[in-house]
Amino acid sequence: TYVVIENCIACKYTDCVEVCPVDCFYEGENMLVIHPDECIDCGVCEPECPADAIRPDTEPDMEKWVEFNRKYSESW
């Protein structure tokens, strides 16, 4: 899965939401999140983010961000 990290907080762009083929972006309290079970790992959103806030969970220390993204995407 891909996840959104804190770089998203000040970002006002939603280009990622528009390109996602499965609509798995949700609004958290002050940033967007990705539902980890709905993301199909296509990677299309990553280069669209001007804040470099979208990362694959294969990067180091992403577990807390996967849980964060899950928590806020499931509150809908």
Tokens of 21: 């083929």
Rounded least distance, CB 46 to ligand SF4, Å: 7
Nearer Cβ to ligand SF4 (10/42): 42
Other C-beta atoms within 10 Å of 32: how many?
A: 23
Nearest distance from residue 40's CB to ligand SF4, in Å? 4
Q: How far is the CB of 13 from ligand SF4 (least distance, A)?
A: 14
74 in Cβ contact with 24 (< 8 Å): no
Contacts to ligand SF4 by CB under 6 A:
2, 19-20, 22, 24, 34, 39-45
Rounded to 5 degrees, φ, ψ at 60 are -65, 145
